[in-house]
Structure 1
Amino acid sequence: MTSVGVLAELEAGMAELSTPMRVFVAAGRFTEPEPDLPQLAARIRMLLASATADEAWRRFLPKYAPPSVPEVCAALEAVETHAAASLLAKVATVDLVWPSHRHLPVETAERAAARVVSLLGPAATWWTNHDSECGAVNGLTPLFDSLLAGTDGEHFTLALQIADD
């Protein structure tokens, strides 16, 4: 599949994982040569800015500015590729405040997440703001937030759920 075809498939898969006002997604292709974590963090900042500028959240965050690229990098923890699809589906489905509430049907999210992870391939790197050792979250906003970011070194995908109680 060509890079353009992969990008189109990634965008479609991520769009399936998006829900209004709660789960914000992005997929794209890096323009920088040999992108690494700082370039991914810059895309995360862009998603954070977009999500928190959404009309539903702007009133809760009137003076919010996304963390700097180094701060975003410091908030991220590596995720093993074999765990990426289930975490991506969880970010899209399980409400951060009310875990029994689902934003999407589980089957829909699992199918789309598996496809996205497959498209990025087994050598992709995945990052989250969750510390898997202790279960803590390195918040990127003043609200509840959950992020999963992946890249194959050419393309990237981002999923962010935000919530407030």
Structure 2
Amino acid sequence: MASSGDSAELEAGMAELATPTRVYVAAGRFTAPEPDVPELAARIRALLVAVAADEAWRRFLPGYTPPSVPEICAALEPVEAHDAAPFLARVAAVDLVWPSHRHLSAEAAGRAADRVVSLLGPEASWWTNHDVGCGAVNGLTPLFDSLLAGTNGEHFALALQIADD
């Protein structure tokens, strides 16, 4: 598990994966004892609230209210631990609408994603809004979005890319 001293490093690693108005991130330490998926979903909802409040997206999301915590929980699909770093790097680097466009270089995204996954540790659980089996996305917004969320039961890391064509 990440130590309390690793919180700042986790937040810094996630900040390296953020890009203005496209890739939003959050990381930190849970305050509730023994947090589980509902607490992680509450952090995801808080990130969605921040995206909806961003001037860049407000006009695309008129009247948008993020899904409830139970709805977010229902939208989440597990990601195998060995797939977490490459998935996180893709969320940060590869544009959802135009895959040939990069928000970050593959190398920079890969290094930061590897560090974040390492900080959360091998026992971390990872979740996405993608159904890996069929390729469908359980959208959290009315736009294109891609989420990866991880937790080790003490700390969490979230990355959400949002796009509109």
Q: Bin the TM-score by the shorter chain.
A: over 0.9
Q: Which residue of 1 aligns with 2:83?
A: 83
Counterpart mapping for 1:1-165 below 5 A: 3-165=3-165
Measured on the aligned residues, the alpha-carbon RMSD in Å equals: 1.0
Query: What's the secondary structure of 1:35's corresponding residue?
Result: coil
8 Å contact kept, 2:123–2:152: yes
| Letter in structure 2 aligned against 1:4 | S
TM-score normalised to structure 2 length: 0.98
Gap regions ≥5 residues in structure 1: none
Q: Map Cα deviations across residues 111-162 of structure 1 (whole Å, 9 max, x no partner).
A: 0000000000000000000000100000000000000000000000000000
TM-score, normalised relative to structure 1? 0.98
Q: How many residues align?
A: 165
Deviation, structure 1 residue 62: 1.7
Separation of aligned partners in 2, 1:150 and 1:4: 16
Residue 16 of structure 1 aligns to which amino acid in structure 2?
Answer: E
| 2:4 match: secondary structure | helix
Unaligned runs of 5+ in 2: none
Distance in 2 separating the partners of 1:43 and 1:158? 8
Structure 1's consecutive aligned runs of 4 or more residues displaced over 3 angstroms after TM superposition are none
Q: 2: CA distance between counterparts of 1:84 and 1:120?
A: 11
- Shift, 1:2, TM fit: 7.1
Distance in 2, matches of 1:144 and 1:109, equals: 20
How far apart, in 2, do the equivalents of 1:145 and 1:78 lie? Answer: 17
- State how far apart, in whole Å, the 1-side matches of 2:102 and 2:12 are: 21
AA partner of residue 89 (structure 1)? A
Shift of residue 3, structure 1, vs aligned partner: 2.7
Residue identity matched to 1:146: S
